[in-house]
Amino acid sequence: MRSMITGYTRLVGLLGYPIKHSKSPRMHNLSFGQLGVDAVYLTFDVEQSNLEEAIKAMRTLNVLGFNVTMPNKQAVIPLLDELSEEARLIGAVNTVSNVNGVLKGYNTDGIGFVRNLNEHNIDYKSVKVVVGGAGGAGSAVAIQMALCDTPEMVIFDGNLEAAERLAKNINDNIKNCKATARLMNEADLVEELKTAGLYVDATPLGMAPLEDKAVISSPDQLPKNIVVTDLTYVPLKTKLLQMAEERGCKIVTGIGMMYHQGAEAERIWVDKEMPMDYIKENL
């Protein structure tokens, strides 16, 4: 385990605002210590107004890499040299590598979600998946599941145009997945869930200050054989997951996605596997 910073220690950072609440520094620094990686992870208050200067600083300081969070996930794209396929399709970046001065953007949110499903042995390759929410997180998850061979997807959002844009993006660029868009309303959502194997909630319902809200109003609106997931991890069990559990559905909380997206970022930066059991125990 690394015991001190040396003259060779590399910097990894998180650029966003507000940022001080982030769990990423503890997660990555714990991992670097266990792996023997000579690097430190720090947060930096960076808004869109000073993002360009921050990226120039990252280049100048020759950082190992960095994460990007709100409000900078889209704004950072023109400032980078390359994009991965999923980042290009999603239109947002949360992880950047620096290899010999070349900054390449990735989006590890979606792959973090998929790996969390794999960890819980959830089928997403032979069932219809319903996604609630076509914002940044919902888009990342939907596109990554389509890239990972989900055959059919129905995307709900309170803004029908947002859902239609996401569905068109998938249909135009990922031929193995058929996506359709629907305006979010409870009756239509419940009807689609009857023939789905997995529901993914990427809406703000369930997180502060909407802890008492959910996309459905009662547990009996859920089929008992559907798997219900929620991207929110504070609280760990949202109102939706509580109702799904009461109904007898298998549930998957959002905390695993947080771990796995961080693990994928580390894989990009240092080509090593995050010690997941140790991180879960100590974070």
Reported in sequence order, the residue ranges of 54-177 that DSSP labels E, i.e. its strands, are 65-68, 82-83, 95-99, 102-106, 128-132, 152-157
20, 23, 56, 73: the catalytic one is 73
Could you give the CA distance from residue 172 to residue 164 in angstroms, rounded to a whole number?
12
Name the amino acid, one letter, at 114: V
Helix, strand, or coil (residue 179): strand
Q: How many CB atoms lie within 10 A of CB 149?
A: 12
Angstrom CA distances, 269 to 32, 75, 152, 272, stand at 11, 21, 33, 8
Q: Are strands 95-99 and 102-106 parallel, antiparallel or unpaired?
A: antiparallel
* DSSP calls for 120-156: TT---SSSEEEEE--SHHHHHHHHHHHHTT--EEEEE
Dihedral sign, Cα of residue 159, residue 202, residue 86, residue 48: positive
Minimal CA–CA distance to 14: which of 6, 22, 3, 4? 22
Could you give the CA distance from residue 6 to residue 8 in angstroms, rounded to a whole number?
5
Q: How many CA atoms lie within 13 A of 179 on its CB side?
A: 30
Residue 73 bears catalytic tag = yes
Would you please indicate which residues are annotated as catalytic (active-site) residues? 73
